[in-house]
Structure 1
Amino acid sequence: MSISENLKNIKSSLPDHVTLVAVSKTKPVSDIMEAYNVGQRVFGENKIQDMVEKYEQMPKDIEWHMIGHVQRNKVKYMAPFVSLIHGVENFKVLKEVNKQAAKYDRVIDCLLQIKIAEEDSKFGMTPEEARTILSSEVIKELKHVTIVGVMGMATFTDNKNQIKTEFNNLKLIFEDLKTIDSNLKVISMGMSGDYQLAIACGSNMVRIGSSIFGERNYFN
């Protein structure tokens, strides 16, 4: 099926309260425009430089989400336009986002990335670290960032029970953090292979790439 057909099929299966982030990493502008032309407006990239290049070439009503590991020295390049940063894994990243957003008089929404997977390769902070950040007086001084929720990535495994346990864990962590900050609203979890399970476990934002755009060729 085409990109537009894939997108329509996925959207028709999503509950109204779930935001679809179309993960366009490694994909050309022509593919992203096919999704745009059937109404998709939220796209996710995992490399800041790639996102900047696509932002410059594409319509300005797109919401760009940074879903990958955030390198602090590159935050300045996305600060003028990024809508949501999913991968905030420590306070230093928040401080840098705040610093760069201030230059454009913007407030940038951020998600705290919680490590729920068993894999060492996955980034993220512990629930305790997230509690410390939200409870701190210092966070109130960062006027150009708003923490709006959490993000997590499950272990890359075929064991659905393990994935479900990890998703449920993130939902519990979210509910706990919400007792500190009642404004938290986003739980970003679930990708092409497990987004339906993620939604059943409480996700309200899913990051779907290959099911829309097809398998990736990382050698392009």
Structure 2
Amino acid sequence: MVEIRQKIEDVNKTIQDAANKKGHDPSNINLIAVTKTVDMHKIEKAIECGVTDIGENKVQELLEKYDHLKDKVKWHMIGHLQKNKVKYIVDKVDLIHSLDSYELALEINKRAKKIDRKVSCLLQVNVSNETTKFGVKSHEAVDLMYVLDKLTHVKIKGLMTMAPYVKDKEDTRKYFKSLKELSKEISKHKLQNIEMEYLSMGMSNDFDIAIEEGANLVRVGSAIFGKR
């Protein structure tokens, strides 16, 4: 498993270089290792090598891995979340990246209230307006924040997006820049229960560009574990 150690070192070096290039503090950027379909042995090795945060796309897979790892790591739900699955993870995840509708927020709020927990979430924004991607449209985000602000057991901590997959990663920059601008716009409204602490953007193929444009959560899978 020397390979995983080396890949994590390479990813961390890229994070540092991208942050330094734009004058950002590298220590403020959090690496989330995406473990979709990755076996437990490799995940445990990654944890040995310093990974502290795990991102999962599917509820079932998160639950299976949670049974093994419990609170050894922080858990991030990064994939599309169906309302009927919320009850299974609401007591386990540290951050839900994929809040993409008011209806989902209501369900999270209801389930969180039952266990007296305030659940941290990011609003997923479809900045590229791709029909294949989940997320609210950019122009809907501010109005939605005013409604989300009233929920007692959901805490909005920032925004998440997925850029289109393109041959030249430089072409993703405009999407990351757009999300950063949106977070600034939302901050101006000074809503009590809404924070723009996190920008979750950038994956294995473009996380350096995302960091340059303000990402402080990057979701990296294949650059650590290889293509799957």
TM-score (ref. length: structure 2): 0.89
- How many Å separate the matches in 1 of 2:98 and 2:104? 9
Q: Which amino acid aligns with 1:134?
A: M
Tell me by how many angstroms 1:148 deviates. Answer: 0.3
Q: Which amino acid aligns with 1:95?
A: L
- How many Å separate the matches in 1 of 2:167 and 2:58? 27
Task: State the match for 2:52 in structure 1.
Answer: 41
How do residues 177-188 of structure 1 correspond to structure 2 at under 5 angstroms?
A: 177-181=186-190, 183-188=195-200
**2:138 aligned with 1:127:** yes
Tell me by how many angstroms 1:59 deviates. Answer: 4.1
2:222 aligned residue (206, 210, 213): 210
- How many Å separate the matches in 2 of 1:167 and 1:140? 24
The 3 A distance-change label for structure 1 pair 160 and 2 is closer
Question: Does the 8 Å CA contact 1:186/1:205 hold for their aligned counterparts?
Answer: yes
- How many Å separate the matches in 2 of 1:98 and 1:78? 13
Tell me by how many angstroms 1:161 deviates. Answer: 4.3
Task: State the match for 1:26 in structure 2.
Answer: 37
How do residues 70-219 of structure 1 correspond to structure 2 at under 5 angstroms?
A: 70-136=81-147, 139-181=148-190, 183-216=195-228
Cα deviation 1:81-128 (Å, max 9, x = unaligned): 111001111111111111111222211110000101243211110123
Tell me by how many angstroms 1:130 deviates. Answer: 1.6
Tell me by how many angstroms 1:31 deviates. Answer: 1.0
Task: State the match for 1:8 in structure 2.
Answer: 9
1:60 aligned residue (71, 74, 79): 71
- How many Å separate the matches in 1 of 2:162 and 2:82? 18
Give 3-state SS (helix, strand or coil) of 1:99's partner. helix
- How many Å separate the matches in 2 of 1:181 and 1:84? 22
How many equivalent pairs are there? 214
In structure 2, the gaps of 5 or more residues are 16-25
Give 3-state SS (helix, strand or coil) of 1:185's partner. strand
Question: Does the 8 Å CA contact 2:123/2:158 hold for their aligned counterparts?
Answer: yes
Tell me by how many angstroms 1:188 deviates. Answer: 0.5
Tell me by how many angstroms 1:194 deviates. Answer: 0.4
The 3 A distance-change label for structure 1 pair 118 and 135 is closer
Q: Which amino acid aligns with 2:173?
A: K
In structure 1, the gaps of 5 or more residues are none
Q: Which amino acid aligns with 1:93?
A: L
Give 3-state SS (helix, strand or coil) of 2:71's partner. coil
TM-score (ref. length: structure 1): 0.92
Q: Which amino acid aligns with 1:39?
A: G
RMSD over equivalenced CA pairs, Å: 1.5
Tell me by how many angstroms 1:11 deviates. Answer: 1.9
Question: Does the 8 Å CA contact 2:170/2:209 hold for their aligned counterparts?
Answer: no
